[in-house]
A = this chain, B = another copy of it.
Amino acid sequence: MMSCRWLLPLAASVSSASAANEAECGQPLLEFLHELRTFGATGGGRFGFGVSRPAFSEDDMAARRWLVTRLEALGMEAAVDGAGHVFGRRKEHRDTPVLLLGSHSDSQREGGWLDGALGVAYAFTAAKALGGEAGEEAPLEVVSFQDEEGRFGVTPGSQHFAHGAALWELPDLHNRAGGLTYADAARLANVTGEASSFEGRGPYLGFFEAHIEQGPRLEAAKQKIGVVEAVVGLGQYRISFTGEQNHAGSTPMASRKDALAAALRTGAAVLDAVEAAAKSLDPEAVYGINVVEVEGPNSASVVPGRITLILQFRSAQTGALDAMAQAAQGAAEAHNGRRGVAVEFAVDRATLAPVQFQSSMVSDLATAAEASGHEFMRMTARAVHDASNLARKTPTVMMFVPSIGGISHSFEEHTEEADLVVGCDVYVAAVRRMLRRWETSSEL
């Protein structure tokens, strides 16, 4: 076991955590975040912190090139790769196992300054705190994945990175709004649209992602840190109703085939069935019919001919996901053909299985949170993150900080800066613990 300078602060963390971490996290973190925010800042929202930085937009690419220079200033080799990701690590670690730190710097078109950006800022701050002279640096790599926000699909960048599938083979990879593909957008942004830098990258000790919660639980419980143990799985189904469009006055009730009446009755029955399944198997499960699509004039004097509902549900338990799908399908099929309306139940997108994070990394994070003296809670992530993909490739864990009102994907998104700094303290301490554990267990 070699003695590493970057490990030293850990020894002092219990007695003087605040002083030590304030220097590491306070000013450097906030400077990084505010500078990153200048790319795509809109000033929108109640707090004035709105950001618009969709994947491959000019602002997104400028922010990525800026990140490259910041990583280079830490002595790292960094670049925007062929898929639009930014990776940075020191050349001394080119062939050694590293802990991957980061998240994503692209945003929703109407987004906030923290979603994704915070995880990149924590990664950068940790790399800065744990950097040092050649031979002593922490074995880290910093990443900003591309398109976590799903302009071209569901986290296509990290999905590709984790699973190695060619980007153009991934499902849902079209931008539904404009017909542009991920690869097209990458080439327009002057990267190759391929991801050759992935080849030979790694091996990895693990992946650690920080993120604002995007939900109300931490704030409601007055907790500062969320130790995320799992990510829910997700099922999504289309329920289509085909009747016959006709005049709403002159078509007798006995001969009308009203697709919307069928959708209302069947939709209510599907929700009741899913609710019953969720209540008995996973009280934390969430579900809803969130989309209704109307074909035709949608006019008061016309009987609707075709309606589609999209049902989505999430649970951390595979059994509950299966049961909700079966309950929904059963209710939908029981209504098929009633009053002349055909009901079809179909997969709208492939089911995402629940993800369990690695227990050792969860313990490292929980121990660091506990040592910080701040309140923390163990929880399940209920939105998809890059970590959902990475967990299938390498040991992974996530950490949450509170978000005001639980709001995200909105110009209204915000978090108290004091909470951001507390989170960074815990994050850096957790990285130290993870690295120390791997070093002392001779995994390095």
User: Which residues from B are CB-within-8-Å of A301?
Assistant: 290, 312, 383
Could you say which of B236, B271, B294 contacts A264, with CB atoms under 8 Å apart?
Answer: B271
Instruction: Please state if A286 and B248 are interface contacts (CB–CB under 8 Å).
Output: yes
Instruction: Please state if A249 and B382 are interface contacts (CB–CB under 8 Å).
Output: yes
User: Which residues from B are CB-within-8-Å of A364?
Assistant: none
Instruction: For the complex, give the distance between the alpha carbons of A416 and B215 in Å.
Output: 64
A33 beta carbon closer than 8 Å to chain B: no
A78 beta carbon closer than 8 Å to chain B: no
Render A288-331 as a binary contact track against B, CB cut-off 8 A, 1 for contact. Answer: 11111110001111111001001010100000000000000000
A280 beta carbon closer than 8 Å to chain B: no
Say how far A328's CB is from chain B's closest CB, in angstroms: 13
Which of A248, A251, A284 counts the most chain B CB atoms within 10 A? A248
Instruction: Please state if A261 and B288 are interface contacts (CB–CB under 8 Å).
Output: yes
Q: Assuming A286-B248, A288-B256, A290-B304, is B265 touching A268 (CB within 8 A)? A: yes
Instruction: Please state if A290 and B300 are interface contacts (CB–CB under 8 Å).
Output: yes
Main secondary structure of the interface of A (DSSP, over half): mixed
Could you say which of B293, B302, B383 contacts A290, with CB atoms under 8 Å apart?
Answer: B302
Instruction: For the complex, give the distance between the alpha carbons of A216 and B253 in Å.
Output: 12
A234 beta carbon closer than 8 Å to chain B: yes
Q: Assuming A214-B247, A251-B215, A271-B265, is B312 touching A300 (CB within 8 A)? A: yes
Could you say which of B214, B292, B300 contacts A236, with CB atoms under 8 Å apart?
Answer: B300
Residues of A within 8 A of B (CB): 213-217, 232, 234, 236, 246-253, 255-256, 258, 260-261, 263-265, 267-268, 271, 278, 284-294, 298-304, 307, 310, 312, 314, 348, 382-384, 406, 408-409
